[in-house]
Amino acid sequence: MLAHMNAEALEKSVASGEAHFWSRSRAEIWHKGATSGNVLTIREMRIDCDQDAVWLSVEVAGHGAACHTGRKSCFYRKIEVDEDDRIVLRATGDAPLFDPHDVYTK
């Protein structure tokens, strides 16, 4: 998954050892897994060369799924070009591990 952190989210992530992000749509700190139970416990945290991106290696609690669609990964579709030169999205086969309708009730 890819998500945004602000300074507070980064600080909370480092202090707690659990991934926190900044929800731009809700304009609030987002403790990943607070609703779904799929908390991300940080095993390793890296920062990039120009220090504007952070990479987390995590252990996923609960269903073992980081994506709100119920899948382990948000990147469950490949971008490919078909025989008619059209760009198509193809499933990788990464099946949902939970039903979002059961988990997110609002």
DSSP per residue over 34-67, as a string? TTTS--EEEEEEEE-TTSS-EEEEEEE-TTS--S
**Residue 66: Cβ-neighbour burial (10 angstroms; 0-12, 13-18, 19+):** buried
Cβ nearer to a copy of itself, comparing 86 with 106: 86
Number of Cβ within 10 Å of residue 76's Cβ equals 17
> Could you give the string, one character per residue 37-76, with x where binding to a copy of itself holds by CB under 8 A and - elsewhere?
-------xxxxxxx--xxx-----------xxx-x--xxx
User: By CB under 8 A, what part of segment 8-37 binds a copy of itself?
Assistant: 14
The least distance separating a copy of itself from the CB of residue 54, rounded to whole angstroms, comes to 7
Where does this chain bind a copy of itself (CB under 8 A)?
1-2, 14, 44-50, 53-55, 67-69, 71, 74-81, 87, 89, 92
